[in-house]
Structure formats: structure tokens, C-alpha cells
Amino acid sequence: MASLHSIFQDIADIISNDSDRESLKLKLENDAFDWEKIVPVASSHLIIPLIYCKLKEKEVLHLLPEDLKSYLEEITRQNRERNNTILDEVQEISILFNKNKVDHVFLKGAAMLASGIYKDIAERMVGDIDILVHPDQLSKAQNLLIIHGYFEVETTFGFNFFVNKHLARLIPDKKLAAVEIHRKLVQGIGILDLEPIKILSQKQEVNSVLIPSYKDLLVHAVLNFEVNDHGHYYNYLGLRNTYDSILLMERISKAYILNLQSKKHIRSFFEKAEVYFSVFEINSGRGVFQYRKKIFVLKQKSKLMSVASYKLLNIFQFGALISDRLFLYIKNPTYRKAVLKDRKRILKLITGKIESF
């Protein structure tokens, strides 16, 4: 049975810009190459269209089973249409915000699409349209979108007690993509490199859309997975963020990239990505991160170790969350009243979480 390590390496050989085409061709011609293992992993990482685009670019699509090729082609076609629609909506929001002098930049997938960084716009799968707005204009931006056909998703009472990285999610009445207005980029910790005012002061305009600098886009691409999606905590690697980072690094000086590795979350990401992509060159002095890299590889090779590690870390994370909430419950009478009022939903969530262990 193929390990996650070998599946990641096969995917890396497909999506990497510097992998050898002939070696890839020989691999795909081998009857032992197992697409049934590749597709679910690629799907979970939201890179099915990227897989298709890179196979097409490397002129090896003819080596795929016909039904698989048709499946990948259709998913890619749908994603291309979706992304073109999302780009139109980005342009509309951009015009609206510029007209009303809202200081903003588009983030993540929306920014990457607007930048024109992909050879084929279908490569990137995008969910919401994320926008960072100046702290003094958050309500103004939210209300502008509500006036122009968006409405807020109902939030839990937690929004009243915790500072989320974005305002209530906005769903369009007649458009495709939901919108999230961000007050910050990373949840839970303060990272100076992603301070909103700094990001906004270094923004650039590409194709009539305001986006962060390529340096800031790279840092955010890494930290969004490592921190917001807990990649660092679980010692795991996200392939979509990795590919975005590869493209962004092509537009940034090598000296700057090497300097970034002094920051632990970015260093951790580079250590993991280096296992599969040679472009992630590492500084000397690896220390504890080299140890984390070895653990990462062991987990990739052993399903038992990977599952056990995830469950254990998940229990620790849940325990820390409960402890934090319990402290607030005891300390804050308003929070206590809100919890008691919503106790049925909360107990259901806790029970479901415990059962998943």
C-alpha cells in the first residue's frame, strides 16, 4: 500500500516546475502507478485542477486512463469558469471600495488570481473572497457590501467575546462567492510581519486590483496554513499553499527568502516543503526544526503514527480550548449567561467532538 510520503512525492513530481518530464513520463507509464491513491489526496488539498493543468503543460495527459482524464478535465473546466466569475466579482468590489475610498487589499486566492501569477487561471481553487480593510473602515466596508446585495451569515455568541480575524461572513444574493472582511490575517498570535497597517502601506495594484506585495503574499500563504489551519501544530504540509509559495518565491529575492527562515513558523514550513520540492532551500543551523522534519517524514511514511499523532494532538488542543473557555465562564458573568442560554448546541458540539476521538 502506498504511503502518504510516496503519494506526496508523486504529486510533487507532477506539480513542480523543475521536475524532469522524462522521469515523470516513465513513472506514469508504469502499471504500478496508482491514481486511485493520488486523486483523493489531491482532492483533499484542493489541487485537482492544478494536477490536470500541470499534466497538460508537461504533455503527458495521454498516459492517463481515459475516464480519469475526462474527470480531471471537467473539474478543471468548471473551476476555470468559477474563477473567471470570481475575478469579475473582485473587480466589482474593487471599483466599489475605490469609489468610496476604502483602504483595502484582496487576500489569498482572490489576490493570487488577480495577480495573474498562474499560467492557467484554473490552477487555483478559491472559496471565499477575502479582503483586508483598514481597522477604521471595517464597518464601512461591511455595510457597503450589504447595501450592494450581500447579507451577513448568522454568527454564534462567540463573536461577542472573542476577536475573530474577520467580520461576519457575507453571502451574496445573486453572485457566486461569499466575502470575508478581515481585521487581521492570523488568528490568535501577534505576528509583526502581517500587521494590517503594514500590509496596506506596502500594497500594489495589479490588473486594477489592490493586493499585498509579493513578499506579504508569501508570508501570508505560509502562515495561513501553518497558524490558521494548524499546519505547524500538527506538523503537516498543505500542497495548495506550497504551490502558491513556489510561484511567489519566483518574484522575491533569494536573500529575503533565506532571511524569512529566522521565523519559526516559516522555518517549519520550509523544512517540510523541502522534503518534496528542491526549490525550498534551507539555511544552516537547523536545530529543533530538523528534528521536526524527521518526525514529519516518519508520519508521512506510517499511517499508524500519523493517525495516532493527530488524535493525540487533537485531544490536547481540545483540552486547551475547554480550559480556556472554562476560565472565561467562571470569570465573566455575561459569557456565563450566553453559554447557559445556548447550552444545548454547545453540549452537542462537545459530545460530537469527544465521539470523534
pLDDT digit string (tens) for 319-350?
A: 888 888 888 888 888 888 888 888 888 788 77
Rounded to whole angstroms, the Cα distance separating 321 from 91 reads 39
The helix/strand/coil state of 179 is strand
pLDDT at residue 58 greater than cutoff 70: yes
Of 19, 226, 212, residue with least CA distance to 117? 212
What was the pLDDT predicted at 21? 84
Highest mean pLDDT: which range of 78-82, 148-152, 271-275: 78-82
Question: Taking the model in full, what pTM does it have?
Answer: 0.90
Cβ atoms of residues 158 and 173 within 8 Å: no
Question: Could you say which DSSP state residue 189 is in?
Answer: S
Q: Which amino acid is at 1?
A: M
Owner of C-alpha cell 528534528: 291
The upper half-sphere exposure of residue 323, i.e. CA atoms within 13 Å in the direction of its Cβ, equals: 6
CB 80 within 8 A of CB 126: no
The band of 238, judged by pLDDT with boundaries at 50, 70 and 90, is very high
- Integer Cα distance of 270 and 245 in angstroms: 10
Instruction: State the Cα–Cα distance between residues 300 and 198, nearest whole angstrom.
Output: 37
pLDDT, tens digit (0-9, with 9 covering 90-100), for 165-201: 889 999 998 889 999 999 989 876 555 568 899 999 9
Q: For the chain, what is the mean pLDDT?
A: 90
If you search the block for the grid coordinates 490568535, which residue do you land on?
188
Q: What is the pLDDT of residue 231?
A: 92
Q: What is the mean pLDDT of the segment spanning 42-57?
A: 96
Evaluate if residue 98 carries a pLDDT over 80.
yes
Residue with the larger pLDDT of the pair 159 and 243: 243
Residue 284 has pLDDT above 70, yes or no: no
pLDDT category, 110, cuts 50, 70, 90? Answer: very high
pLDDT digit string, tens, across residues 302-323: 989 989 998 898 888 888 888 8
